[in-house]
Amino acid sequence: AAPCALFAMGVTLALRPLNRVPHEMVPIAALKLILHPLLCYVVLSWIGNFSETWVFSAVLLAALPTATNVFVIAQQYGVWVQRVSASVLITTCLSVVTVTGLLYLIRHDILAPDLFP
């Protein structure tokens, strides 16, 4: 199902002109790529003593781009198909920078494993 979803999403993106990217994409991308990992990091630090491996893994997973299954659901229900496909494309492109930056922060011990020791 995943390859079919990627193919369908590619067709949807190819049929839509580039100048028609919905204006909601900036806040959606910011929420998904910045606020979601930050919120995950703060909540995990606040609620318990997790090992740094679990905290950093959860934060990295939260920082990943919008999943293709969102496109499958949008297409099945016929809602927001073009916006979801644009969201997947834009967050995937931007996540190259955000995930790389997060990995740099983790690798160089700039990001502490616990905010509230």
Is 113 within a domain?
Answer: no
- CA 100 remoteness from chain centre: 13
User: Which residue type does 22 have?
Assistant: P
Mean pLDDT of 59-70: 91
Please check whether residue 16 lies inside any domain of the structure: no
pLDDT in tens, 4-41: 777 777 777 677 665 667 788 889 999 999 999 999 99
Summary mean pLDDT of the chain: 88
Q: Whole domain around residue 44: which residue ranges? A: 2-11+23-107
Q: Confirm whether 60 is domain-assigned.
A: yes
Domain assignment of residue 99, yes or no: yes
For the beta carbon of residue 70, count every other beta carbon within 10 angstroms: 16
What total number of domains does the chain contain? 1
In-domain check, residue 96: yes
Q: Is residue 55 part of a domain?
A: yes
Tell me, yes or no, whether 83 lies in a domain: yes
User: What average pLDDT does this structure show over 41-53?
Assistant: 92
Residue 18: inside a domain, yes or no?
no
Token digits of residue 91: 């967050």
Query: With 80 as the cut, is the pLDDT of residue 106 above it?
Result: yes
| pTM confidence score | 0.81
Task: Check if the beta carbon of residue 49 is closer than 8 Å to that of residue 114.
Answer: yes
